[in-house]
A and B are shown apart, each in its own frame.
Chain A
């Protein structure tokens, strides 16, 4: 006999807690996602392919995933610097800086969207500065990049910070005693320890950016083939009551995001095994 499905326990409330958990999970998350997949199944693989395989849809998907990747990479580097600075250095305003990192989580995306647009539009405070060197930010792909960096900013910092706090002094000291330069220690000793957490933050930041809508649509300009993101395309299809097409693009986005997360998870498993540090 294998393991029982649920072990016997003296704890009360099994039925109630399991019932509430599974009912709400089904009603709020699983059934709606099931409805999307069901719609896709009825529409058929060829139907989905015909919808997705159009220049405008490919352009939107490619734009969303490419800019999300760039934004997540930027956040990976900046987030690690931020985590290091916040944990290791003591300076005036550190607490304020630490709290400010979470603002993108707390600020509604629509608010972030119009604020970033006001700031980076050609007549905005930062946009006019950029315009002087001929750099257009709002209503171009740069604007989308800025918005995606904003929404994904906290992830890497928040996953890496606790790991930096845990690093034992001996590890770096041993490296230094053995003659390694500071740069070498950071690169070969510290960085590998931070890598799994940083990768988790990177994946979260990427997933968030790919699906982001509110902060992007104001600053993007939304020009088909140029600055139109994939989630906007779904909204446009829905507004035209074109449910099949909306479902097809939605399923394509789901599949690509899950595929990316799977790859990142595999890299993570591999890096943990290679480095032997969890």
Chain B
């Protein structure tokens, strides 16, 4: 077989060079305008009056309390969702029961509900006008316009993240390794810690990473339940809105820049996981 025929055979899967360059140009230009430009805009606006102004705007009391609140909310809701994700993935992949597909649909439900509607649901459930909420407020444990409501809203919108990463990975790995450990006399917990967890740790980390990014950045659901009390229930995204609406552009974009840096770190870690631990992630993330 000569080289010429080989080249010709290969080109059956390729577009003409002109079409190829045109498509690459469309992709680069499209992502440039849609993704890179807003990214650059955040930093340009934040630094419009120089570094000092940007950093100073983050130092005031309200900004500091917003940053603390956001970290606290992520610190509570992400571990809870991770625990849920592990439990749900274990239940769904290690046991056979009727209604499994329906259960998975229910877990995915928050993805097709608007964050604003999610917040609305929590207000209706726990607000002062509701049965449960009225009793809780009377007992001194308000949920809405307070920390628990923000945590609940955040958990609602990030609910499927960890479970969705773990379920396909655990289906693929099967039950044989756990069964072997159990046959050899290991306890259930020991089997989980020494057999299952090492197998799913990268997928778990991947899910936690995405869950955390969304938890720290959630706006719609939190806007509805938080009451936007400055210094108390205003998270970083809510504070960005308040500053922006007060025409404090540098302060708004400086805080936005902090969240943007977080997003960039998330993306870098995520890409690193996809490259280094591709075989331990769900098939859709291997590229």
Contacts and interface: CB of A to CB of B under 8 A. Distances in A.
Given A20-B83, A81-B23, A261-B112, A35 B121 contact: yes
A131 interface: no
Contact of A204 (B36, B103, B111): B111
Contact residues on A (Cβ < 8 Å of other chain), bracket: 35 or more
B260 interface: yes
B113 A5 contact: no
B244 interface: yes
B96 A173 contact: no
Interface in A1-48: 3, 5-7, 9-14, 16-18, 20-21, 24-25, 28-36, 38-39
A118 B91 CA distance: 47
A107 B82 CA distance: 21
* Majority-rule SS of B interface residues: helix
A12 B28 contact: no
Nearest to A237: B120
Contact of A103 (B35, B117, B130, B152): B35
* Majority-rule SS of A interface residues: helix
Contacts of A153: 34-35
Contacts of B69: none
A140 interface: no
A12 B191 contact: yes
Given A13-B192, A28-B156, A158-B284, A213 B115 contact: yes
Nearest to B240: A110
A214 interface: yes
B287 A211 contact: no
Given A108-B217, A254-B113, A247 B120 contact: yes
Contacts of B39: 103, 107, 115
A11 B97 CA distance: 13
Interface in B30-56: 30-31, 33-39, 41-42, 45
B142 interface: no
A119 B30 contact: no
A90 to B, nearest CB: 10
Given A104-B35, A238-B123, A21 B91 contact: yes
Nearest to B33: A126
Contact residues on B (Cβ < 8 Å of other chain), bracket: 35 or more
B13 A114 contact: no
Contacts of A16: 87
B197 interface: no
B136 interface: no
A98 B223 CA distance: 32
A12 B129 CA distance: 43
Contacts of A81: 23, 26-27, 30
A211 B115 contact: yes
A86 interface: yes
Given A16-B87, A176-B12, A29 B110 contact: yes
Given A106-B210, A106-B270, A153-B35, 20 more contacts: A7-B97, A12-B182, A14-B95, A16-B87, A21-B103, A24-B84, A29-B106, A33-B109, A85-B23, A86-B27, A89-B23, A106-B264, A106-B266, A114-B244, A119-B41, A207-B111, A212-B114, A235-B224, A250-B117, A254-B117
10 contacts: A11-B175, A20-B84, A21-B91, A30-B106, A39-B124, A118-B41, A119-B37, A125-B41, A150-B34, A250-B116
Question: Which 7 residue pairs spanning A and B have beta carbons closest together?
Answer: A211-B114, A108-B217, A12-B188, A214-B219, A32-B121, A213-B220, A176-B12
